[in-house]
Amino acid sequence: MALTEIFVLIRKEMQLEWRNKYAIHGLVLYLAATIFICYLSFKAKQQSIHPIMWNTLFWIILLFSAVNAVGKSFTQESANRNIFYYTFAKPESVIFSKIIYNTLVMLGVSLIGIFFYSWVMGNPVGNMPLYLVSLVLGAIGFASTLSLVAGIAAQGENSATLMAVMSFPLIIPLLLLLLKLSKSALDGISLSENWDEIAILGALDIIVIVFSGILFPYIWKH
Amino acid sequence: METLKRHYWKILSIILLIYTVYAGFNGQVPRQPILNETIRNLYFHVTMWFTMIFLLGTSVYHSIQYLRKSDLKSDLISSTYVEVGMVFAVLGLITGSVWAKFTWGDWWTNDPKLNSVAIGLLIYLAYSLVRSSMPDEMQKARISSVYNIFAFVIFMVLIWILPRMTDSLHPGNGGNPAFSKMDLDNRMRMVFYPAIIGWTLLGFWIAQLRIRIKNLEQQNEL
């Protein structure tokens, strides 16, 4: 029963997004513009970019896109409509549907991002499958951490500032782990050598999702 | 007799701290390479982190209490413990910085533990920003309790798991001497454990005074 509820809510998110496409278009354009700015300021000026800088820059672009994409989760719909959802959906279903939907969005953003980024900036990655694993883990982690933070920020008055101030320090542990794993992928180290990092990242994702499920009901009730 | 029962732990704290300062500066310490006499900082630096973690943990306990019972008193207590915890974090940072200047030759080095604590401070500064951004008392208490619990979980991941994954010059990491079984001899334990208890009691004492002041202020306003 709860599963169908989550499913219905995810479908609702998708339909909303489909009806006014400007949000998703805006996100893709944001990504493309940022990547192109990075290309102009690094690659075009200096002819080359150090692989480590290549990697870090890409994750920072993803982080900013994620904050933008997930930040609007709770503010794009009016407060009245949120009250309407509150009357029939369980808060756990709401947050899990947001997390799953945002994960899908982030997966899309990461894939479009890595494609466009490799196109203009070159691709020094040695082990691409492992890099994709880190992108997937990153998408889940970003989506779950930021969904809860977006829920908190939506309660405040200046939610955009709150979102940035709260999410950046909270996301750093995840980002550091992701940088470490993707650095291994960059150096072409095999998947089997990196089980530790993958396990810790997966555990962190699960911890964040579980705590979102526990804590979100308290934000949701007015 | 009744007063003694209520206040004995404050006297204990004073006695333990006097003992810590006396034995800490005069007691025998093992001669370790690099560390030499600076190993005494163990009593004044490491204990700050212990106290901070105890204070923040207590704060989380009261945040959970608030979410369960919606009693504004719990929120006041919880936020005060965070404040005092941050004072100890700053003290730990300062004592560490002074120590680093004489051992590593620099006030701030690129050490995972140092960086983690700086991020921790950012996380809790965001906590105070969240609190000040909400005008409504109940909402402020609810949202900041949720944030506090979430932040504590992330902070624990940050300071317990991440530093273990990277090599560091910090004692206790990367084969450097610290307070493991081999390095910390019994003479030092005789000071170190009482020091932890003494500083922790002092932290709770300060927090209690702050809570009483805040309560009186609130009563004055009414």
Q: What is the pLDDT of residues A139-187, one digit of tens each?
A: 999 999 999 999 888 887 777 888 888 888 899 889 988 998 898 888 8
Run means of pLDDT, 10 residues per run, chain B, 222 residues: 80 86 77 70 84 93 91 90 92 86 77 80 89 84 91 87 66 53 65 86 92 90 76
Report how far apart, in Å, the C-alpha atoms of A41 and of each of A29, A35, A167 are. 18, 10, 26
Residue of higher predicted confidence among B167 and A56: A56
Contact criterion met (CB < 8 Å) for B134 and A156:
yes
Residues 135-174, chain B, touching A (beta carbon < 8 A): 135, 139, 142-143, 145-147, 149-151, 153-154, 157-158, 161-162, 165-166
Pick the closest to residue B148 from B124, B118, B117 (CA basis).
Answer: B124
Res A160: pLDDT:
81
Nearest to B134 among A155, A177, A200 (CB): A155
Structure tokens at A56: 């870090």
With CB atoms and an 8 Å threshold, state whether A218 touches B67. Answer: yes
* Top-confidence residue, A147 or A86: A147
Contacts of A109 (CB under 8 A, 6+ apart): A27, A28, A31, A62, A65, A66, A69, A139
Q: How far is CA B108 from CA B96, B98, B101, in A?
A: 9, 9, 8
What pLDDT score does B175 carry? 47
Q: How confident is the model at residue A86 (pLDDT cuts 50, 70, 90)?
A: confident
The whole-number pLDDT of residue A1 equals: 55
pTM of the predicted model as reported, rounded to 2 decimal places: 0.85
Cβ contact, residue pair B122, A155, below 8 Å: no
- Rounded-to-integer distance, Cα A194 and Cα A137, Å: 13
Q: What is the mean pLDDT of chain A?
A: 86
Of A158, A204, A218, which has the smallest distance from its Cβ to B146's Cβ? A218
Q: Residue with structure tokens 């390479």?
A: B33
- Mean pLDDT of the region A43-50: 74
Under 8 Å CB pairs connecting chains A and B tally to: 72
- Residue A106 scores a pLDDT above 90: yes
- Cβ <8 Å between B129 and A180: no
Which DSSP string corresponds to A31-51?
Answer: HHHHHHHHIIIIIHHHS---H
Q: Does the pLDDT of residue A121 top 70, yes or no?
A: yes
Q: Which residue in B60, B68, B157, B159 has the most chain A C-beta atoms within 10 A of its own C-beta, making it the best mutation to test that interface?
A: B157
Q: For residues B186 and B103, what is the distance between their CA atoms, to the nearest angstrom?
A: 24
Count of helix runs (H) and strand runs (E) in chain B: 7, 0
